[in-house]
Amino acid sequence: MSGYRIRRFEETPNPNAVKCILDRRISDVPRSFLSAADAADDPLIAAIFEVPGVRNVLTLDDWITIGKFPDAPWSEIRRRVAEILREGGSADAAP
Task: Identify the pLDDT of residue 2.
Answer: 75
Could you give the strand order of the β-sheet that contains 63-68, starting from the edge strand earlier in sequence? 6-11, 17-22, 63-68, 54-61, 27-33
The answer as to whether 12 is a domain residue is yes
Residue 60 structural domain: 6-87
CATH of the domain at 75: 3.30.1370.70
* 95 residues of the chain, pLDDT tens digit each: 479 999 999 999 999 999 999 999 999 999 999 999 999 999 999 999 999 999 999 999 999 999 999 999 999 999 999 999 999 865 544 43
pTM here is 0.89
User: Considering just the CA atoms, what is the radius of gyration of the chain in Å?
Assistant: 12
The answer as to whether 95 is a domain residue is no
Give me the sign of the Cα torsion angle 62, 71, 44, 38.
negative
